[in-house]
């Protein structure tokens, strides 16, 4: 009915006790254009390896839940057309109907937890969309963080979202939001958001200890780590703001709703910035892969002793 298929590399890591970092696949199929999506996916995996962990990119292929993709599978996924975007609501149905699908943050967390993986690196999470008081568009990623014990490393939330409202919902849901190495929540393309983070941590070890403490106390849910984009690659909020406003106006004019909203906005922002947004996106994902690998290594090291 349901089985997890691990890649040979992940099987080996599990046997050897090497730390594993989960990676999502919606960023490949719906977040970036081909061929940059494939190049980035490979670079992220390589960055995880160079940081001492093993990458497990997660996706559903012909109804099989894959935890870790071979390079050939990664290539297939990057070029598949009409691949489904799977969140919590879609994942079991896709498996049951033998479909192909890419996992969002929510679905990747579900798969990672079932595969015994504690840490997951991505670019940005879904959140409360601007105008959500009318559209009710709030990503299932937030609910997932409240119930599934995976630490997610992201670069904060994109300004396509309403960041203050996203933080409020996370607080209501009891999700720890940790800024890494600075006081402010980063805003994806920019290091600054003007918003103070609820928690600041400067060391991967502290983030790992907080994860393990939560698990030991049986407090359900994960953690959101917000890792600022490296300075050399950031784009200022002032530069991004008009681009985002235009993409949002177009989405509204074309009646884009539901799970099409995020992919539509990402694609338009890519076009409107002539690819500059994508360069930043790639840099921050790689940066997140490094931090996630460090956290995974710390969890592997201190995990058994701290229970
Ligand atoms: N934000 C990004 N890049 C992304 C996504 C969000 O900056 O690729 C993707 C992630 O997979 C995330 C999903 O989980 O979009 C959220 O979609 P929705 O808002 O429909 O829940
Ligand atoms: Mn949505």
What CATH number does residue 236 fall under? 3.40.1790.10
Q: Considering the domain boundaries, does residue 70 fall inside one? A: yes
- The answer to whether residue 24 is catalytic is yes
Contact assessment for residue 230 and residue 275, using Cβ atoms and an 8 Å cutoff: no
Contact assessment for residue 71 and residue 42, using Cβ atoms and an 8 Å cutoff: yes
Pairwise CA distance, residues 25 & 101, whole Å: 9
**pLDDT for the residue numbered 307:** 38
DSSP 3-state of 2 = coil
For residue 145, the surrounding DSSP H or E stretch is helix 140-147
Q: Considering the domain boundaries, does residue 238 fall inside one? A: yes
**pLDDT for the residue numbered 306:** 41
Pairwise CA distance, residues 259 & 15, whole Å: 37
**pLDDT for the residue numbered 304:** 59
Atom number in ligand 1 closest to CA 188: 7
Q: Considering the domain boundaries, does residue 47 fall inside one? A: yes
pTM, two decimal places: 0.96
Q: Considering the domain boundaries, does residue 307 fall inside one? A: no
DSSP 3-state of 44 = helix
262 in ligand 1 pocket by Cβ < 6 Å?
Answer: yes
pLDDT in tens, 26-78: 999 998 889 999 999 999 999 999 999 999 999 999 999 999 999 999 999 99
Q: Considering the domain boundaries, does residue 273 fall inside one? A: yes
Q: What is the domain count for the chain?
A: 1
Contact assessment for residue 210 and residue 302, using Cβ atoms and an 8 Å cutoff: no
140 in ligand 1 pocket by Cβ < 6 Å?
Answer: yes
Query: Does the N-terminal peptide bond of residue 306 adopt cis geometry, omega within 30 degrees of 0?
Result: no
Pairwise CA distance, residues 10 & 219, whole Å: 28
Pairwise CA distance, residues 290 & 50, whole Å: 8
Q: Considering the domain boundaries, does residue 268 fall inside one? A: yes
Q: Considering the domain boundaries, does residue 88 fall inside one? A: yes
Q: How far is the CA of 12 from the centre of ligand 2 (A)?
A: 36
DSSP 3-state of 288 = helix
Residue segments in the chain with a per-residue pLDDT below the cut of 50 = 305-307
Pairwise CA distance, residues 127 & 163, whole Å: 8
Expressed as residue numbers, the domain containing 179 is 4-302
**pLDDT for the residue numbered 4:** 96
For the residues of 238-281, what is the DSSP string, one character each?
A: HHHHHHHHHHHHHHHHTT--GGGHHHHHHHHHHHHTTTHHHHHH
């Amino acid at each position: 009915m349901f089985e997890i298929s691990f890649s040979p590399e992940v099987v080996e890591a599990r046997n050897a006790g090497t730390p594993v970092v989960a990676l999502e696949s919606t960023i490949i199929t719906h977040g970036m254009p081909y061929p940059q999506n494939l190049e980035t996916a490979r670079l992220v995996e390589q960055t995880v390896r160079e940081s001492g962990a093993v990458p497990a990119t997660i996706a559903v292929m012909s109804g099989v839940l894959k935890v870790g993709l071979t390079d050939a599978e990664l290539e297939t996924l990057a070029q598949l057309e009409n691949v489904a975007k799977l969140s919590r609501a879609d994942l079991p149905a896709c498996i049951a109907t033998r479909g192909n699908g890419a996992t969002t943050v929510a679905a990747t967390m579900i798969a990672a937890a079932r595969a015994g993986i504690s840490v997951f690196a991505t670019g940005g999470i879904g959140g409360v969309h601007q105008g959500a008081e009318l559209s009710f568009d709030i990503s299932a990623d937030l609910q997932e963080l409240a119930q599934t014990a995976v630490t997610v490393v992201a670069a904060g939330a994109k300004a396509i979202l309403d960041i203050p409202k996203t933080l409020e919902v996370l607080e209501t849901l009891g999700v720890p939001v940790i800024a890494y190495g600075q006081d402010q929540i980063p805003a994806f393309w920019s290091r600054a958001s003007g918003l103070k983070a609820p928690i600041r941590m400067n060391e991967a070890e502290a983030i790992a200890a907080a994860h393990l403490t939560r698990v030991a106390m049986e407090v359900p849910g994960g953690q959101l780590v917000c890792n600022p984009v490296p300075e050399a690659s950031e784009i200022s909020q002032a530069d991004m703001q008009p681009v985002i406003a235009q993409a949002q106006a177009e989405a509204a004019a074309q009646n884009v709703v539901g799970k099409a909203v995020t992919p539509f906005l990402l694609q338009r922002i890519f076009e409107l910035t002539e690819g500059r947004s994508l360069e930043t996106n790639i840099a921050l994902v790689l940066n997140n892969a490094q931090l996630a690998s460090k956290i995974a290594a710390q969890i592997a090291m201190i995990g058994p002793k701290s229970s």
